[in-house]
A and B are shown apart, each in its own frame.
Chain A
Amino acid sequence: MNYSSYITLIPLLPLAGFIILGLFGKSLTRSAGILGTFLLLVSTVLAFYTAYNYFFVSGKINGIYPPVTALHYTWLSFSPGLSIDMGVLVDPASVMMLVVVTFISLMVHLFSLGYMKGEDRFATYYAFLGLFTFSMLGLVLSTNLLQIYIFWELVGVSSFLLIGFYYDRPAAVAAAKKAFIVTRFADLGFLIGILILAYYGGTLDFNMLIYRLTATNLSPLTQTPQIGFMGISLLTWALVLVFIGGAGKSAMFPLHIWLPDAMEGPTPVSALIHAATMVVAGVYLVARLYPVYLLDEAVLQIITWVGALSALLAAIIACTQTDIKRVLAYSTISQIGYMLFALGLSGYGDTATGYSASLFHLFTHAFFKSLLFLGAGAVIHFVHTNEIREMGGLRKLMPLTHITFLIACLAIAGIPPFAGFFSKEEILLAAWENNRFGYILGLVTSGLTAYYMFRLYFRIFWNRTPSYSNHHGEGSWTMKGPLLVLAAAAITVGFIPFPHFVAVNGQEEITVPLRFSIAPVAVAIAGITIAYVLYFKNNPLPRKWALAFRGMYKLVRHKFYFDELYLFITKKIVFNGIAKPAAWIDRHLVDGFMNGAGWATTRLSESIKALQSGSVQNYMLYVFGSIIALAAVFIYWT
């Protein structure tokens, strides 16, 4: 199957949107959004067409879906064999992501038509969305380590631009900066990891790299494991560093601090970037290099623990937050932690279940999480606040939003038959088979997830009688439509036999035994029940509980003081400890030396300038004295 004819159009159409809207957006106003949405619609159709072709027309060869490099040309050549080749890689994971990204992006584009109506920089908004979609699609289709890094940075900057969209709000600017800098810091690890892999692997191309490192002993990385640094082999270093990059983008502990703040951006943006697509790039990156990661079980175990820890801690924090978007943000961190947790489980010997389960969860999560965000967006649009303590009883005023939000909550809580159930089951199954402790952590997280999601749900839609009047309705159909479509997706996508399509080495379906589901579902229902008790009606119970565990509550409410820790590091250590002395040294020591040299010269000339007295007779004295002296020298010394 030849994809090259149209597959490049998928990312290029949003790019065209970005360029057109960026340059001429001013004169387009309202039609800017329609143009951007239309371009994305074409992209989405093409993406679905590609998926159809790839999975159903081309089909499996030797039991697996073969990776196809649809396009390939040398972009920047470093040395023979080492070059950045821009290309398009089509394999199950990338096709799956292609579908997710275009679909969610299309929904967000549609939703924004209503949500962002009347904004000053409406066209700019769509331009940025186009840039983001282009970058994300480029990231997904990358064939090359540095290509993925390039788009990695580009999604980072589009995220920066979109978080800082309300640029005159200092909080938004600070959040945008924070997001960019924290992920940049993580990207530093990614970059160094790339340098190591590229040098010892001799190539930047994914397929070639995987081939060299796994199939044969061609690379010194695997051939001579003794070369290393600080007692750890270089391969481990490289993989850990690359994972740090992924962890930064995916907001894993302890690099998660940017994501909750990133909620300062427009809500549809949060749905697109900070829930469904960009933040799962870390998972995608590890999945891309999965065969390489399999070479080093230690790194996979690190990934497991980072994932599990993030999942648990973020879930705990989410229970205490009162900003609707922040709860969702922590829930995102938690769910991505889940995915990485599953991905890393292969470090315990299992090679297949974790991988498929992780990507399956990524797939389903994209739908219900963006649905949650868009629903939250609709709510915020309606009540003009993020604070859930000021909401309540909205189910009558926003019936459609209420239903779709409920569906999404059920999906994320893992209640059958909604999408989240299936993917979560697979993850827990993989954990059960490989790591019992991890399984328990996963189960606890699952219960917490159910609890905080329903806390949110009850708090917004029940709890007390609304203090709002239904003065402007739920919003236009451009806002309601995406909610409905996504709700439908959240119900149905779980039934897709995902491992059939996306799996390592063509491993067949994973069958979850029916009795295995009992425990997770029971835990989820328990969580929902607690939330029901506490929040269904306005009662003093939550306060009491919070008071009972005062110390712990405070710790969690302040997000374990991570922000304060980072503030301490940046303000006290980096700014006052490094940058200030550097600037001082430069001005006073280095420049002082230069000025000192100038000063010394001036002093010297000051001290001998008296020779230039202006008195003719002195000058004559020098002349005659010198003549006599020279005469003496020439007569007696030669």
Chain B
Amino acid sequence: MSLSVLIILPLLTAIALLLCNGFRQVRVVALSGAVVQLIYVLWLLGAYWQQRPAGNAAAILFEEDLTWFASLNIHYHVGIDGIAIAMILLTALVTVAGILVSWPVEKLSKEFFFLLVLLSLGAYGFFISLDLFTLFFFLEVAVIPKFLLIGIWGSGRSSYSAMKLALLLMGGSALVFVGLAGIYFNTPTANGPTFDLLQIAQAGISTDVQELFFPFAFIGFGIFTALFPFHTWVPDGHSSAPTAASMFLAGISMKLGGYGCLRMALLMPAAAQSYSGIIIVLATIAIIYGAFATMMQTDLKYINAYSSVSHCGFVLLGIGMLTKTAMMGAVLQMVSHGLMTALFFAAIGMLYDRTHTRQVAQLGGLLKVMPFIATVFVIAGLCSLGLPGLSGFVAEVTVFMGAWQREDAWYRLATILACASIVVTAVYILRAMGKVIMGPLLVEGTGSLLQQGHVLSDARWNEKLAAVLLIIGIVAIGVAPFWLTELIN
């Protein structure tokens, strides 16, 4: 049982991709790599579950520790707890789905799949790292492919979006690095400064240092997960990105930030406590304001991107509330939002492939011509608006229950406002759904294409498989959340 396999497998896949010839080979290799990875992750999950009842109460399992760079005491130290394995599972699922959805990508397919695999590699490495430097390293590994994916395969103002996204995320990781370096130099451990999470947690960071460096690390990670004033890369980036990149971006990449914020809040509890008011204000603004901004969007991808801002606000709200339940809710929300938004983007991508428009006003009644895709769209929408039985509800209600445990009146007010967003969410989701899926059939973008005999076909096998995979995840959490909450606990 080795966690390094999680990194080695994508690496091997990436190398194999470089040796491939022709896009048919490339996609098969990429898919099989992702599927093997998914199987391995499931196996890992099984192994993890076997450890717990066996009385293994250690916080971190499957540790591996290698000295990487001795003079700075940087280690390759990996290990997982329940939160990490939940995120890894999410990554594996979204990766397989993303590769399936990009099945027909012919343009520079080798580079495309290479970058996708690289992005997933960065995410895996990030989630299993226990060394802050390795963590940061993998965070950076995950940033660069996004820039290229959007810049090269994107649509619309792709270079602008790619630039914006890369610059903001780079700025975020610069802040993260300042925070991490601050922790590194100010932790009194026996053998000098260390990046090791466990040792730092054991040694404890003094309150002054926490309060100085927590904002850096938190805002830095926060930018990745659409913290309020730094969220503007989300709509532009997502809307310009190709379908799979949107899925990866929202499904995996934004979760890097949430996971990082959570780790920082757990590592520096004193500072998290003193800054929690600010975090909650920003998170509440993101939730409400993101939701209202979504109502006015006319492009399907913008709708989902803004709703991501709103939904990721729940992650930050859960973290900022600092109660155990709320934090669990934050993790649930990360997993749930990852699956849901990936599904949503996949559905939008499928619609766009056929109709060549994403404007709500130009679409209508698609249930008639592509029932499968429309159903996927409806399921994603219902999950987004927090329908019980799908994962969104479980996550949101957990966040609310946890948030309500803070007795302060202002925290309560923030919680109520956050609750109110479920109504706004319902409004924008139903507006989009009512127009695009229901109503009279209308496809303006391809009026001419239709006349030329193009048929608006329903989903192909690869798209069906991708959607079904994600829906299984959503329903598995929504119908039986206990397995996931037990895992996270």
Contact = CB atoms under 8 A, between A and B. Distances in A.
Interface stretch (B25-33, B276-284, B381-389): B381-389
A167 B306 CA distance: 26
Nearest to A184: B426
Contact of A579 (B292, B401, B437): B292
Nearest to B368: A168
B14 interface: no
A78 B168 CA distance: 36
Contacts of B389: 150, 154
Interface string A183-195: 0110110011001
Given A76-B398, A146-B397, A582-B296, A180 B430 contact: yes
A164 B394 CA distance: 26
Interface string B411-442: 00001100110110011001100100111110
A227 to B, nearest CB: 9
Given A76-B482, A580-B296, A173 B439 contact: yes
Contacts of B324: 79
Contacts of A74: 482
Contacts of A593: 229
Given A192-B419, A195-B401, A579 B388 contact: no
Contact of B295 (A177, A196, A575): A575
Contacts of A157: 382, 387
Given A180-B426, A199-B405, A579 B393 contact: no
A75 interface: yes
Interface string A139-154: 0000000100111011
Interface in B430-484: 430-431, 434, 437-441, 480-482
A184 B482 CA distance: 26
B365 interface: yes
B402 A164 contact: no
B11 interface: no
Given A153-B393, A154-B389, A181-B427, A590 B404 contact: no
B453 to A, nearest CB: 23
A627 interface: no
Contacts of B480: 75
A585 B440 CA distance: 33
A580 B289 CA distance: 11
A117 to B, nearest CB: 21
Given A157-B387, A586-B293, A78 B325 contact: yes
B167 interface: yes
Interface string A505-530: 00000000000000000000000000
A355 to B, nearest CB: 29
Contact of A82 (B163, B293, B401, B482): B401
A578 B294 CA distance: 11
Interface residue range, chain B: 35 or more
A174 interface: yes
Nearest to B426: A184
A168 B404 contact: no
Interface residues of A, number: 52
B232 interface: yes
Given A78-B398, A168-B368, A173-B439, A598 B167 contact: yes
A181 B295 CA distance: 14
A137 interface: no
B426 A76 contact: no
B164 interface: yes
Task: Name the residue in A151, A594, A598 with the highest tally of chain B Cβ atoms < 10 Å from its Cβ.
Answer: A594
Interface string B159-193: 00001100110000000000000000000000000
Interface string A413-426: 00000000000000
Interface in A585-616: 585-586, 590-591, 593-594, 598
Describe A's contact surface by its main secondary structure.
Answer: helix
A583 B296 contact: yes
A176 interface: yes
A53 B397 CA distance: 36
A77 B482 contact: yes
Nearest to B415: A195
Contact of A168 (B365, B409, B426): B365
Contact of B416 (A164, A174, A192): A192
A188 B422 contact: yes
Contacts of A146: 397
Task: Tell me which of A82, A173, A199, A578 has the highest count of chain B C-beta atoms within 10 A of its own C-beta.
Answer: A173
B423 A583 contact: no
Contacts of B126: none
B217 interface: no
B292 A578 contact: yes
Given A188-B423, A598-B167, A79 B430 contact: no
B4 interface: no
Nearest to A178: B430
A181 B434 contact: no
Given A167-B438, A181-B426, A591-B232, A79 B325 contact: yes
Contacts of A150: 388-389, 393
A170 interface: yes
A168 B440 contact: yes
B237 to A, nearest CB: 12
B365 A586 contact: no
Interface string A482-521: 0000000000000000000000000000000000000000
A27 B167 CA distance: 53
Contacts of B385: 184
A151 B416 CA distance: 22
A319 interface: no
A71 to B, nearest CB: 15
Nearest to B233: A594
Q: Quick one: which of A78, A168, A180, A591 has the most chain B CB within 10 A?
A: A78
Nearest to A82: B401
A221 interface: no
Interface string B327-365: 010000000000000000000000000000000000001
Interface in B369-404: 382, 385-389, 393-394, 397-398, 400-402, 404
A128 to B, nearest CB: 12
Interface in A51-80: 74-79
A198 interface: yes
Contacts of A174: 434
A603 to B, nearest CB: 16
A106 B54 CA distance: 50
Contacts of A229: 409
Given A77-B482, A150-B389, A583 B297 contact: yes
A177 B438 CA distance: 11
B367 A154 contact: no
B434 A173 contact: yes
Contacts of A75: 480-482
Contacts of A164: 434, 438
Contacts of B437: 167
B439 A168 contact: yes
A616 B134 CA distance: 43
30 contacts: A76-B398, A78-B401, A78-B402, A79-B324, A79-B402, A79-B405, A150-B393, A153-B387, A164-B438, A167-B437, A177-B430, A181-B426, A181-B430, A184-B426, A188-B423, A191-B400, A195-B401, A195-B415, A196-B404, A229-B409, A574-B295, A582-B295, A582-B296, A583-B295, A586-B289, A586-B306, A590-B232, A594-B232, A594-B233, A598-B167
Given A77-B485, A146-B397, 15 more contacts: A76-B397, A82-B401, A150-B388, A150-B389, A153-B387, A168-B439, A173-B438, A176-B430, A177-B430, A177-B431, A574-B295, A579-B292, A579-B295, A583-B292, A586-B232
Interface of B: 163-164, 167-168, 229-233, 289, 292-293, 295-297, 306, 323-325, 328, 365, 367-368, 382, 385-389, 393-394, 397-398, 400-402, 404-405, 409, 415-416, 419-420, 422-423, 426-427, 430-431, 434, 437-441, 480-482, 485
- Give 4 nearest A-B pairs by CB, closest first: A583-B296, A150-B388, A582-B292, A167-B438
